[in-house]
């Protein structure tokens, strides 16, 4: 097939090109590289990198363990705080978290490669089949977890370690949540998301029921009547609408669906892509969609964002990655309408924007960008079906500092809760901490029952 062919087509590249384009973005360090990288750490007391980590991993300790030739012990230090440490090592915006806080992050020096060192340790342990946790004696308590994403998996694992039985309900055919369906393919290769799910579930005491959707197959009230506690880690299932003319034309697609389809494809050549692609949005999803469109063979990929570079949710590293792949990022442009030719997307009309006294306004100036394919990446929404009377705040579930909702016996964490930052590592922390709160409640109830008896 000719590479210059217009329209949306599969197979734009040769097999070797797909393999090269979707290879590991940050290949694992070898032993020597890991020792050299670890030797740069100052092992700070009250290390700022540790404070910057949402899961509070003891970063100086795990790096010291690598430096002394103990990557297995290093993995244990990581997993004690973050059982999904392998995926977080791959997808965390370390340049804005731990590595940003590193004392070596100066104009003259680069920070310690904390993320890559974390991957080295966790991969070493997982490849060796090393499992650090056994279940406590059975408590006889049973907890329902809704959502097999990072928050749900972290909660389920911690609860299983405590001796509780856990049943996970997930709407998708495969577990993993965004780790499986929402991360760019070049960030997590070799089916790592499923390997990590298997690693987490190997603790035992966790049953997963896929294809089970809250609000369709069961309600929160159903779970409350059947289980001793419930944890909600249901993420964000909806996608914001553009609310412009032409939004539903063939060729105008959700970026989330595009990324999921690419992740599940057996062969990247199966995924059709336009020669000219426009992505609307300024977050990580927009970057992932744009970069992968380019890697699939799109010749011209443009991100349009309605505000300035400094307002983009995507990190500077991710923005630089996109431009290094040939993606054009244009700021101060808002979608006005999608234009059609022969019933399909042909272009997008955009309107220039600016800030006036802190408020975003359009200027009245317009332009047109030709495109056969448009991806919408303007944010996801929470779908609250089946939740009953749980208290909401700004469209998401309201929780306290331990993840407790307004309903007795119901906790929540991850992207579905109000006040979160939509990061995998934060979801893990919230799931873990909610599990500790659930365990405390169940243990206190059991002690009370014994005391009364």
Specify whether 254 is located in the same domain as 369. Answer: yes
Query: For the chain, what is the domain count?
Result: 3
Give the residue-averaged pLDDT of 434-443. Answer: 97
Q: What is the CATH number of the domain that holds 337?
A: 3.50.50.60
Q: How far apart are CA 175 and CA 332, in angstroms?
A: 38
The reply to whether 202 falls in a domain is yes
Confidence of residue 237 (pLDDT cuts 50, 70, 90): confident
Q: Taking the model in full, what pTM does it have?
A: 0.94
Q: How far apart are CA 410 and CA 403, in angstroms?
A: 9
85-133 pLDDT per residue, tens: 999 999 999 999 999 999 999 999 999 999 999 999 999 999 999 999 9
Specify whether 169 is located in the same domain as 288. Answer: no
Give the residue-averaged pLDDT of 28-49. Answer: 96
Q: Are 151 and 234 in contact (CB under 8 A)?
A: no
Confidence of residue 2 (pLDDT cuts 50, 70, 90): very low
Q: What CA dihedral angle connects 71, 76, 81 and 87, to 10 degrees?
A: 60
Q: Is the pLDDT of residue 177 over 70?
A: yes
The reply to whether 19 falls in a domain is no
Q: What CA dihedral angle connects 218, 412, 201 and 188, to 10 degrees?
A: 110
Confidence of residue 137 (pLDDT cuts 50, 70, 90): very high
User: In which domain, by residue range, is 118 found?
Assistant: 31-127
Specify whether 357 is located in the same domain as 406. Answer: no
The reply to whether 9 falls in a domain is no
DSSP string, 45-100: TT-HHHHH-TT---HHHHHHHHHTT-HHHHHHHHHHH-TTHHHHHHHS-TTTTHHH
Q: What's the confidence (pLDDT) of residue 446?
A: 67
Specify whether 282 is located in the same domain as 324. Answer: yes
Confidence of residue 447 (pLDDT cuts 50, 70, 90): low
Specify whether 178 is located in the same domain as 276. Answer: no
* Three-state DSSP state, 9: strand
Number of other CB atoms surrounding residue 256 within 10 Å: 22
Q: What's the confidence (pLDDT) of residue 421?
A: 83
The reply to whether 91 falls in a domain is yes
Specify whether 259 is located in the same domain as 329. Answer: yes
The reply to whether 7 falls in a domain is no
238-265 pLDDT per residue, tens: 889 999 999 999 999 999 999 999 999 9
């Amino acid at each position: 097939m000719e590479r210059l062919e217009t329209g949306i087509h599969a197979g734009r590249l040769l097999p070797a090109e797909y393999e090269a384009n979707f290879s590991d973005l940050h290949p694992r360090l070898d032993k020597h590289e890991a020792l050299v990288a670890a030797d740069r750490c100052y092992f700070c007391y009250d290390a700022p990198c540790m404070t910057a980590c949402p899961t509070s991993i003891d970063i100086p300790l795990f790096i010291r363990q690598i430096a002394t030739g103990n990557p297995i012990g290093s993995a244990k230090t990581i997993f004690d705080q973050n059982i999904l440490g392998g995926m977080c090592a791959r997808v965390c915006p370390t340049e804005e978290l731990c590595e940003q806080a590193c004392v070596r992050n100066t104009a003259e020096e680069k920070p310690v490669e904390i993320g890559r060192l974390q991957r080295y340790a966790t991969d070493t342990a997982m490849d060796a089949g090393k499992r650090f946790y056994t279940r406590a004696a059975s408590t006889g308590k049973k907890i329902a977890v809704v959502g097999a994403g990072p928050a749900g998996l972290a909660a389920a694992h911690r609860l299983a370690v405590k001796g509780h039985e856990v049943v996970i309900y997930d709407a998708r055919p495969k577990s993993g949540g965004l780790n499986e369906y929402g991360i760019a393919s070049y960030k997590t290769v070799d089916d790592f998301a499923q390997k990590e799910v298997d690693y987490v579930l190997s603790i035992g005491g966790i049953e997963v029921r896929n294809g089970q959707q809250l609000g369709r197959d069961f309600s929160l009230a159903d779970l409350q009547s059947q289980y001793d506690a419930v944890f909600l880690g249901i993420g964000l299932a909806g996608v914001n609408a553009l609310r412009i003319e032409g939004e539903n034309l063939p060729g105008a697609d959700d970026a989330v669906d595009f990324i999921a389809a690419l992740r599940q494809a057996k062969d990247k050549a199966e995924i059709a892509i336009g020669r000219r692609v426009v992505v609307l949005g300024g977050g990580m999803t927009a970057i992932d969609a744009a970069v992968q469109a380019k890697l699939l063979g799109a010749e011209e990929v443009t991100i349009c964002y309605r505000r300035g570079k400094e307002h983009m949710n995507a990190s500077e590293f991710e923005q630089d990655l996109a431009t290094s792949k040939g993606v054009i990022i244009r700021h101060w442009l808002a979608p006005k309408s999608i234009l059609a030719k022969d019933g399909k997307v042909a272009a997008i009309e955009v309107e220039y924007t600016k800030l006036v006294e802190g408020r975003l306004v359009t200027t009245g100036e317009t332009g047109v960008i030709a495109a056969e394919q448009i991806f919408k990446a303007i944010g996801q929404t929470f779908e609250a079906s089946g939740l009953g009377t749980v208290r909401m705040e700004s469209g998401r579930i309201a929780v306290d500092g331990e993840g407790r909702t307004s309903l007795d016996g119901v906790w929540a964490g991850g992207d579905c809760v109000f006040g979160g930052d939509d990061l995998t590592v934060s979801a893990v922390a919230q799931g873990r901490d909610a599990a500790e709160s659930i365990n405390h409640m169940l243990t206190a109830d059991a002690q009370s029952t014994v005391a009364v008896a």
